[in-house]
Amino acid sequence: MRFISHRDVARAFERAFRVAEVPLAFTAGFSPHPKISFGPALAVGYESDAEYLDLECTEEVDETRWTAEVTAALPEGIAVTRVAPLADRAPSLQEEISVLAYEVVLGGIPADAVGPVVADLLGRASVEVTVSRKGEARIDDIRPSVLALHQPRPYEACVVVEVATRPRTLRVVDVVHGLRAVAGDAWPIEESRVRRTYQWIERGGARHEPLDVDRRSDARTLEACA
Amino acid sequence: MSNLWPRIESLLPRVEKPARYIGMERGSVRPEHHPGKVAWLLLYPDAYEVGLPNQGLQILYEILNERDDAVAERSYAPWVDLEAEMRAHGVPLFSVDTHRAAGDFDVLAFNLSAELVFTNLLNCVDLAGVPVRSAQRHPEHPLILAGGHCAFNPEPLADYVDAFVMGDGEEVIAEITEVIGAWKRSGRAHREQVLHDLATVPGVYVPSMYDVEYDGPRVVGVTPRYPDVPAVVDKRTVADLAEWPYPKRQLVPLVEVVHDRLNVELFRGCTRGCRFCQAGMITRPVRERPLEQVRTMVRDGLRRTGYDEVALTSLSSADFSGIDGLVGGIVEEQTATGSVSLSLPSLRVDAFTVGVASEIQRVRRTGLTFAPEAGSWRLRQVINKLVTEADLYAAVDAAFSQGWRRVKLYFLTGLPTETDVDTLGIAELATNVVDIGRRYTKGASATVSVGGFVPKPHTPFQWFGQNSVDELRRKVSLLRDALRRSPAKVRWHDPEASFAEGIASRGDRRIGAVIERVWRAGGTFQEWSEHFSLGRWLDAMAAEGLDPDWYVTRHRTEDEVLPWDHIAAGLHRDFLWQDWKAALAEHGLPDCRWTPCYDCGVCTGYALEHVVAANVPPAGGSQGTGQDLATGHSVPVQLLPAGARPRSGGTGARVAG
């Protein structure tokens, strides 16, 4: 399921809600849309254990029944894992989520060479890479947006990275470019497989999963992609 | 057998829209293969986004998978980026359902809905690891079958496709499965044996069972090589759509595709008799689906798919008996349960139709499309699109007054007897349409879309010499100049693509080698402007020593053997010839549902009748009769005297007083 785009996932959810007869609330006006809002987009080709969406309904829903029925109506490989009521006028996922965590399997480098490259990157004050933004190439310092970086298992060429979503979301591909820049000619590091592991909302210096804040009233749901 | 998924998966991160190749659509199945079952791979030889919604393919997919003796999977033409990766890594064509190699199926069955996909068929066969020419295939290779509208002139692909299937596939597919199943059980010894057996199945044409005789450039005869092989292959026709409520589980793709909505077929066939329209001619007679079944299919389909849009499809959906009641009912039921929109993809040009449209499009009134097809009443009589100017203006007035802001007008150019007066007539109609719109809204706009006319087999225009590329270009320029200062915008189809389509449309067996050359030169996805080049086609024609103009722009004569004369869509050849003469005499021919039979041959030949709930035209506009039917439901159509039937050389339509 990792090969479908954020937009396609959104459409799959809309259809699944209709099949499961979820009492969707619609926007008013000439072109009514269901009131569903998604969190930060996941790039095509990435897996995820942690995707979220906010949904407004016209009546209270039975969360347990709803979880099973929507999952049954979703394409194979996407499942709703948890539903929580959301407070009225809660800020949107797009506004609130400030940290994204990924597990990135690397190619072009052996497992035992990953640690020194990670340490090197973390030790630098700035890491400049060429990023493409709106089709234009420009040099950016990615270092401030890398909040954490480590190798979770010494026997695997893999890193866990936490990136900031502000001032703009740092893309995984640019983190890998950064590692490659740091490694120099020694290792032609490339991204081989990526899985999003967490999305965090930061409040008062603490991190929360999106389902654990702003609870009440409507549903904020958690979905997982496999 | 082979599951290629691990090898495919490693290629997907490098290609555009990888979800086109993963299957997993809601409604799809992963059938269990078994040596005792005939394994069908149903292929649409164009991009997934174009092929997935194809209703014919989805219907056969379900019917085959419901059988005990068959399994069916699907495949589409891999886009050029994936094809390059597949060839570089030795990955063959695969099914999207279980990622099984195409070469492991018993049958590769292609849907041919346009001529310019012919090179893609060759490419898919080659990617499957199967020799592209039938004569080079061995018993272990899959059988290559093709059906769909373009199969009605099978000759350009005669050396490449083992067997063609003419007409509706619902019933014949069972007979074909049984023949192939028996061949499998007998040990698949000789290919010739199964092909001979297939050639005796009604509706199946096996080109290798026929010898073609030429006299210079002309085909002078096509004769069967065995006494039990029919001299003329007749199409198959499903008599009653009610017995075939398919698709029951329409596929819901994960990625956006064309016609991305629930599609419910209202009826098959069309008796409007537009002379340029191959679909209308070869799918006769009209067979309507019972109203109650349509309602059920809409209700169940929406519930199952989760779509928020349903299209009621057919060649002229507003002609369905009781369309207004049906539409009203669906709108009432669905707006009660959620926001579902309804669309009629083929609108007729009249105010009644706009009324129906306004019923269904209570929201989102952005654009409406009408197809007057020709710029003058004279030419519309020639092509038998009996839409008056009053019809068009009334339709447009109704549309703008009811809140639509954009109108799209479809025209053909390069039609028989067309002069510059007709071409400039398009500009005049478009200008008047914008003027009408501006009475209601400042933002009113009209877009004129012009396509170059390509004459098609089994139509009255099959004898007509297509306009040259230069002539089509000149007409498009004339129209653009005429509309230069007008707010109406003009769009046009590439005249060069129309020319290549013309080569394939009325080609004979010799055109096959041209198609093969175009393919070998890299000419796949010829329907896509970024991949099309006429140069490849002209080079291939030259290399084969064939004259493009002889095939494309030449008028055919009455006594000439046409390359598809041994294929029958049920229409008498003399009916078509008389209708061609009537066209040249500028005589229209009203719809035979509410006028006497013209004896086109279909109903009598197949002992069928038009299955319609009402034999009177609905109200409003002229309903394609060119007559004032404002009162409606009362058949104020002047009945033609017997002697006036075109078959006896008389006149066509009359305008009642």
Contact A77 B24 (CB under 8 A): yes
ipTM over the 0.90 cut-off: no
The domain limits of chain B are 5-234
What are the C-alpha distances in Å from B529 to residues A28, B44, B257, B494, B535? 40, 19, 18, 8, 13
**Residue B295 neighbours by CB under 8 Å, 6+ apart:** B326, B329, B330
Q: How far is A117 from chain B (nearest CA, A)?
A: 25
Distance of alpha carbon A23 from alpha carbon A61, whole angstroms:
8
Query: Which segment of A51-65, B332-346, B469-483 scores lowest on mean pLDDT?
Result: B332-346
Query: Is B32 at the interface with chain A, CB within 8 A?
Result: no
Which of B254, B262, B305, B340 best tests the A interface by mutation, with the highest count of A CBs <10 A?
Answer: B254
| pLDDT, tens digit, 9 for 90 and up, residues B224-246 | 999 999 999 999 999 999 999 99
Which of B8, B15, B339 best tests the A interface by mutation, with the highest count of A CBs <10 A?
Answer: B339
Distance of alpha carbon B330 from alpha carbon B319, whole angstroms:
17
| pLDDT, tens digit, 9 for 90 and up, residues A65-112 | 888 999 999 998 899 988 888 887 788 898 889 999 999 999 999 999
Query: Is A32 at the interface with chain B, CB within 8 A?
Result: yes
- CATH class name, domain A96-203: alpha beta
The identity of residue B218, as a single letter, is R
Residue A218 has pLDDT above 50, yes or no: no
What are the C-alpha distances in Å from B223 to residues A94, B194, B201, B321? 70, 19, 17, 43
Q: How far is B24 from chain A (nearest CA, A)?
A: 7
Contact B306 A73 (CB under 8 A): yes
Peptide bond between residue B247 and the one before it cis (omega within 30 degrees of 0): yes
Q: B279, B235, B288, B242: which is closest to B593 by C-alpha?
A: B288
Tell me how many residue pairs between chain A and chain B have CB atoms under 8 A apart. 57
- CATH class name, domain B5-234: alpha beta
Total count of residues recorded for chain A: 226
* Coil, strand or helix at B392: helix
**pLDDT the model gives residue B623:** 52
CATH topology of domain A6-89+210-225: Alpha-Beta Plaits (3.30.70)
User: Which residue from B minimizes the CA distance to A75?
Assistant: B26
Q: How confident is the model at residue B337 (pLDDT cuts 50, 70, 90)?
A: low
Q: How far is B263 from chain A (nearest CA, A)?
A: 16
Q: How confident is the model at residue B614 (pLDDT cuts 50, 70, 90)?
A: low
Contact A15 B307 (CB under 8 A): yes
Q: B563, B569, B626, B643: which is closest to B600 by C-alpha?
A: B569
Contacts of B307 in chain A (CB under 8 A): 15, 18
Q: How far is A193 from chain B (nearest CA, A)?
A: 10
What percent of chain A shows pLDDT beyond 90? 58
CB A34 within 8 A of CB A25: yes
Structure tokens at B609: 């009748």
Query: Is B6 at the interface with chain A, CB within 8 A?
Result: no
Contacts of B364 in chain A (CB under 8 A): 30-31
- Numbers of helices and strands, H then E, in chain B: 21, 19
Q: Say which residue, B195 or A21, is predicted with more confidence.
A: B195
CB A226 within 8 A of CB A77: yes
Taking residues B493-504, what's their average pLDDT?
97
Tell me which long-range contacts B301-304 makes (C-beta under 8 A, separation of at least 24). Answer: B301/B250, B301/B262, B301/B264, B302/A18, B302/B262, B302/B334, B302/B340, B303/A19, B304/A19, B304/B26, B304/B27, B304/B249, B304/B250
Q: How far is B244 from chain A (nearest CA, A)?
A: 24
Query: Is B29 at the interface with chain A, CB within 8 A?
Result: no
What are the C-alpha distances in Å from A10 to residues A16, A36, A63, B418, B560? 10, 9, 20, 50, 58
Q: Say which residue, B411 or B347, is predicted with more confidence.
A: B411
- What angle do helix axes B389-401 and B420-438 make, rounded to 10 degrees? 30
| Among the partner residues B305, B307, B364, nearest to A31 by beta-carbon distance | B364
Q: How far is B97 from chain A (nearest CA, A)?
A: 13
Q: B10, B111, B99: which is closest to B61 by C-alpha?
A: B111
Residue B595 has pLDDT above 90, yes or no: no
Q: Helix, strand, coil shares of chain B as percentages rounded to 5?
A: 40, 15, 45
Residue B365 has pLDDT above 80, yes or no: no
Distance of alpha carbon A103 from alpha carbon A81, whole angstroms:
20
Contact A24 B254 (CB under 8 A): no
Place of tokens 């078994």: B34
CB B421 within 8 A of CB B374: no
Query: What predicted TM-score, i.e. pTM, was given to this entire model?
Result: 0.91
Query: In chain A, what's the furthest Cα-to-Cα distance?
Result: 59
| Residue ranges of chain A assigned to CATH 3.30.70 | 6-89+210-225, 96-203
Rg (CA), chain A: 19
Query: Is B336 at the interface with chain A, CB within 8 A?
Result: no
